[in-house]
Homo-oligomer: A and B are copies of this chain.
Protein backbone atom coordinates (compact mmCIF):
# COMPACT_ATOMS: atom_id res chain seq x y z
CA UNK A 1 0.00 0.00 0.00
CA UNK A 2 0.97 3.60 -0.51
CA UNK A 3 0.52 5.18 2.92
CA UNK A 4 0.69 8.89 3.75
CA UNK A 5 1.93 9.32 7.32
CA UNK A 6 1.27 12.81 8.68
CA UNK A 7 3.24 13.58 11.82
CA UNK A 8 5.95 11.12 10.86
CA UNK A 9 8.67 12.77 12.94
CA UNK A 10 6.76 12.58 16.23
CA UNK A 11 7.21 9.90 18.87
CA UNK A 12 4.19 7.93 17.74
CA UNK A 13 4.78 8.74 14.08
CA UNK A 14 8.24 7.18 14.19
CA UNK A 15 6.85 4.05 15.79
CA UNK A 16 4.15 3.80 13.12
CA UNK A 17 6.79 4.06 10.41
CA UNK A 18 8.79 1.27 12.07
CA UNK A 19 5.70 -0.94 12.25
CA UNK A 20 4.65 -0.42 8.62
CA UNK A 21 7.72 0.34 6.53
CA UNK A 22 8.70 -3.27 5.82
CA UNK A 23 5.36 -4.01 4.22
CA UNK A 24 4.36 -0.68 2.61
CA UNK A 25 5.51 2.46 0.86
CA UNK A 26 5.44 5.27 3.44
CA UNK A 27 5.23 8.94 2.46
CA UNK A 28 6.48 10.77 5.56
CA UNK A 29 4.87 14.17 6.09
CA UNK A 30 5.87 16.81 8.63
CA UNK A 31 5.47 20.51 9.21
CA UNK A 32 9.11 21.06 8.28
CA UNK A 33 10.61 17.56 7.87
CA UNK A 34 9.88 14.34 5.98
CA UNK A 35 9.34 13.51 2.32
CA UNK A 36 6.62 16.15 2.04
CA UNK A 37 5.80 19.20 4.14
CA UNK A 38 2.30 20.29 5.08
CA UNK A 39 0.65 22.57 7.62
CA UNK A 40 -2.59 20.83 8.55
CA UNK A 41 -4.11 24.07 9.84
CA UNK A 42 -4.04 25.39 6.25
CA UNK A 43 -6.43 23.66 3.82
CA UNK A 44 -4.43 24.97 0.86
CA UNK A 45 -1.33 23.30 2.24
CA UNK A 46 -3.25 20.04 2.68
CA UNK A 47 -4.52 20.20 -0.89
CA UNK A 48 -1.02 20.86 -2.16
CA UNK A 49 0.22 17.80 -0.26
CA UNK A 50 -2.32 15.51 -1.95
CA UNK A 51 -1.61 17.04 -5.35
CA UNK A 52 2.08 16.26 -4.86
CA UNK A 53 1.56 12.72 -3.57
CA UNK A 54 -1.24 11.64 -5.91
CA UNK A 55 -3.56 8.69 -5.35
CA UNK A 56 -2.98 6.77 -2.12
CA UNK A 57 -4.30 3.73 -0.25
CA UNK A 58 -4.12 4.92 3.33
CA UNK A 59 -3.62 8.09 5.30
CA UNK A 60 -2.49 8.00 8.92
CA UNK A 61 -2.45 11.16 10.99
CA UNK A 62 -0.45 11.27 14.20
CA UNK A 63 -0.40 15.05 14.22
CA UNK A 64 -2.21 17.90 15.88
CA UNK A 65 -1.64 20.46 18.60
CA UNK A 66 -3.87 21.57 21.43
CA UNK A 67 -3.37 24.18 24.13
CA UNK A 68 -2.52 22.67 27.50
CA UNK A 69 -3.23 25.00 30.38
CA UNK A 70 -5.25 25.78 33.47
CA UNK A 71 -8.94 26.11 32.68
CA UNK A 72 -8.97 29.29 34.78
CA UNK A 73 -6.66 30.88 32.23
CA UNK A 74 -8.39 29.54 29.14
CA UNK A 75 -10.91 31.39 27.01
CA UNK A 76 -12.22 30.93 23.51
CA UNK A 77 -8.81 31.68 21.93
CA UNK A 78 -7.06 28.84 23.76
CA UNK A 79 -9.76 26.35 22.75
CA UNK A 80 -9.54 27.58 19.16
CA UNK A 81 -5.96 26.27 18.88
CA UNK A 82 -7.01 22.65 19.26
CA UNK A 83 -10.17 23.05 17.19
CA UNK A 84 -8.15 24.44 14.28
CA UNK A 85 -5.12 22.14 14.60
CA UNK A 86 -5.73 18.68 16.09
CA UNK A 87 -9.47 18.59 15.27
CA UNK A 88 -10.10 20.35 11.95
CA UNK A 89 -6.53 19.78 10.78
CA UNK A 90 -7.11 16.05 10.94
CA UNK A 91 -10.71 16.30 9.70
CA UNK A 92 -9.57 18.36 6.72
CA UNK A 93 -7.07 15.62 5.86
CA UNK A 94 -10.16 13.43 5.39
CA UNK A 95 -12.44 16.00 3.73
CA UNK A 96 -9.80 16.99 1.19
CA UNK A 97 -8.00 13.65 1.02
CA UNK A 98 -11.10 11.70 0.02
CA UNK A 99 -10.91 13.39 -3.40
CA UNK A 100 -7.48 11.86 -3.98
CA UNK A 101 -7.92 8.52 -2.20
CA UNK A 102 -8.12 5.22 -4.05
CA UNK A 103 -11.23 3.05 -3.73
CA UNK A 104 -11.18 1.30 -0.38
CA UNK A 105 -8.61 3.68 1.09
CA UNK A 106 -8.47 4.09 4.87
CA UNK A 107 -8.05 7.13 7.10
CA UNK A 108 -6.73 6.77 10.63
CA UNK A 109 -6.81 9.78 12.96
CA UNK A 110 -5.39 10.27 16.44
CA UNK A 111 -7.46 11.18 19.50
CA UNK A 112 -6.38 10.21 23.03
CA UNK A 113 -7.28 8.92 26.47
CA UNK A 114 -8.23 12.34 27.85
CA UNK A 115 -11.64 12.18 26.20
CA UNK A 116 -12.61 9.68 28.90
CA UNK A 117 -10.00 9.98 31.63
CA UNK A 118 -9.29 13.70 32.09
CA UNK A 119 -6.43 15.52 33.79
CA UNK A 120 -5.82 19.06 35.00
CA UNK A 121 -4.84 21.38 32.11
CA UNK A 122 -6.40 19.01 29.59
CA UNK A 123 -9.83 20.55 28.92
CA UNK A 124 -9.04 21.36 25.30
CA UNK A 125 -7.41 17.99 24.66
CA UNK A 126 -10.44 16.23 26.13
CA UNK A 127 -12.81 18.25 23.96
CA UNK A 128 -10.87 17.61 20.77
CA UNK A 129 -10.33 13.90 21.42
CA UNK A 130 -14.03 13.36 22.07
CA UNK A 131 -14.85 15.24 18.87
CA UNK A 132 -12.49 13.10 16.78
CA UNK A 133 -13.79 9.77 18.05
CA UNK A 134 -17.42 10.76 17.42
CA UNK A 135 -16.62 12.26 14.01
CA UNK A 136 -14.95 9.01 12.94
CA UNK A 137 -17.94 6.96 14.08
CA UNK A 138 -20.29 9.09 11.98
CA UNK A 139 -18.11 9.76 8.92
CA UNK A 140 -17.66 5.99 8.47
CA UNK A 141 -21.35 5.81 7.47
CA UNK A 142 -20.98 8.17 4.56
CA UNK A 143 -17.50 7.86 3.07
CA UNK A 144 -17.78 6.83 -0.61
CA UNK A 145 -16.13 4.06 -2.66
CA UNK A 146 -15.54 1.66 0.21
CA UNK A 147 -13.34 4.05 2.14
CA UNK A 148 -12.85 3.41 5.84
CA UNK A 149 -12.06 5.64 8.82
CA UNK A 150 -10.98 4.90 12.39
CA UNK A 151 -9.24 6.66 15.23
CA UNK A 152 -6.52 5.55 17.61
CA UNK A 153 -6.84 6.79 21.18
CA UNK A 154 -3.49 6.34 22.93
CA UNK A 155 -2.72 7.00 26.55
CA UNK A 156 0.59 8.72 27.35
CA UNK A 157 3.45 6.84 25.72
CA UNK A 158 6.56 5.81 27.64
CA UNK A 159 8.83 7.82 25.36
CA UNK A 160 6.92 11.02 26.27
CA UNK A 161 7.14 10.56 30.04
CA UNK A 162 10.15 12.86 30.50
CA UNK A 163 7.98 15.77 29.35
CA UNK A 164 4.44 14.67 30.11
CA UNK A 165 4.89 12.39 33.13
CA UNK A 166 4.02 15.05 35.73
CA UNK A 167 0.61 15.60 34.09
CA UNK A 168 -0.15 11.88 33.91
CA UNK A 169 0.73 10.60 37.37
CA UNK A 170 -0.84 7.20 37.91
CA UNK A 171 -1.48 6.56 34.23
CA UNK A 172 0.07 3.36 32.94
CA UNK A 173 2.16 4.46 29.97
CA UNK A 174 2.45 2.26 26.89
CA UNK A 175 5.39 1.93 24.52
CA UNK A 176 4.86 3.91 21.31
CA UNK A 177 5.30 0.60 19.49
CA UNK A 178 2.11 -0.68 21.15
CA UNK A 179 0.21 2.37 19.94
CA UNK A 180 1.65 1.77 16.48
CA UNK A 181 -0.03 -1.63 16.37
CA UNK A 182 -3.43 0.04 16.55
CA UNK A 183 -2.60 2.13 13.49
CA UNK A 184 -1.60 -1.04 11.67
CA UNK A 185 -4.87 -2.71 12.67
CA UNK A 186 -6.82 0.25 11.32
CA UNK A 187 -4.80 0.50 8.11
CA UNK A 188 -4.32 -3.17 7.26
CA UNK A 189 -7.55 -4.47 8.75
CA UNK A 190 -11.11 -4.17 7.50
CA UNK A 191 -12.99 -2.35 10.26
CA UNK A 192 -14.46 1.14 10.01
CA UNK A 193 -15.98 3.65 12.41
CA UNK A 194 -13.91 2.29 15.29
CA UNK A 195 -11.82 3.91 17.99
CA UNK A 196 -8.90 1.72 19.04
CA UNK A 197 -8.10 2.46 22.66
CA UNK A 198 -4.49 1.89 23.59
CA UNK A 199 -5.09 2.16 27.36
List residues of chain B with CB within 8 A of the CB of A187.
none
On whether the beta carbons of B144 and A72 are closer than 8 Å, the reply is: yes
Query: Within the oligomer, what is the number of copies of this chain?
Result: 2
11 additional A-B pairs beyond A83-B88, A116-B134, beta carbons within 8 Å, are A76-B88, A76-B95, A79-B88, A79-B91, A83-B87, A91-B127, A114-B138, A118-B134, A118-B193, A126-B135, A130-B132
Chain A interface SS verdict (over half): helix
Which bucket holds chain A's interface residue count?
Answer: 35 or more
A-B pairs with beta carbons under 8 Å apart, 10 shown: A71-B143, A75-B95, A76-B88, A79-B91, A116-B137, A120-B141, A123-B139, A123-B142, A127-B131, A130-B135
Give min CB distance, A83 to chain B, whole Å.
6
